[in-house]
Amino acid sequence: MLRNGSISRGESHGLSAVVPVLRVAAGTLALIASANVEVPLVPVPFTLQVLALCFVVLALRPREAVASAASYVAIGALGAPVFSGHMGGIVRLAGPTGGFILGFVLAAAVGSLVLGRVSRTRLPWVVSAAVSLVAMVAVVYLCGWAQLMVVAHLSAAAAFAAGVAPFVALDLMKVGIASCTFAAGRIALGRDAR
């Protein structure tokens, strides 16, 4: 209730509990929407999900970033058509591309952790962001690569050539886009860009 034009303590506490939930929901929706932008490559399609995950890691608090990725995976696992190709279900997670999707959760945790550590150094913020996002992408690749080898019965080199190598340059571009966008936003908002 408003008292003298201000929010009462009870309402303030209620709002502070809702805001993180809304941020997690926004992150989850970004991952869902980004899966719908797809170039069907075999065995791993090209989507904008890594770009969305970059934004999630940079924009949200660590627990919120992990919760967004975990919510996305859980929604898809329950059968909602939120994965690339408008697919969902446990079968998709157990398939050749499932490791990349499952890797989003660990990648969000690692990216957030690295960002927290590196941003305390003297490096410019844009470099800290880029380093953390490269670590995040590496985790996605490792998880996806490992599952692709097992599920598709490919050698390490063949799985890397099919599921990782075609995406490295594009994903590094996504890292650059997200890092520069957030650095520019920090400067525009008057935050220290270091």
Higher pLDDT, 47 or 23: 23
Instruction: Compute the average pLDDT of residues 161-173.
Output: 93
Partners of residue 6 on adjacent β-strands: 3
pLDDT digits (tens, 9 = 90+) for 121-130: 999 999 999 9
Q: Report the distance separating Cα 177 and Cα 183, nearest Å.
A: 10
pLDDT band of 190, cuts 50, 70, 90: confident
How many angstroms separate the CA atoms of 192 and 182, rounded? Answer: 12
Model confidence over 42-67: pLDDT tens digits? Answer: 667 778 999 999 999 999 999 999 99
* Predicted confidence (pLDDT) at residue 37 exceeds the cutoff of 60: yes
For residue 186, which of 125, 140, 101, 133 has the smallest C-alpha distance?
125
Q: Which percentage of the chain shows pLDDT scores above 70?
A: 89
Yes or no: say if 180 and 126 are a contact pair by the CB < 8 Å rule.
yes
Which class does domain 2-188 fall in?
mainly alpha
What lies within 8 Å, CB to CB, of 35 at 6+ separation is: 47, 48, 49, 82, 83, 84
So where are the chain's domains? 2-188
Q: Name the average pLDDT for the chain.
A: 90
Question: What is the average per-residue pLDDT within 152-162?
Answer: 96
Residue 1 has pLDDT above 50, yes or no: no
Please state whether the predicted TM-score (pTM) of the whole model is above 0.85: yes
Overall average pLDDT of the 139-168 stretch: 96
* CA dist list (Å): 72 to 9, 108, 119, 166, 190: 33, 12, 27, 24, 33
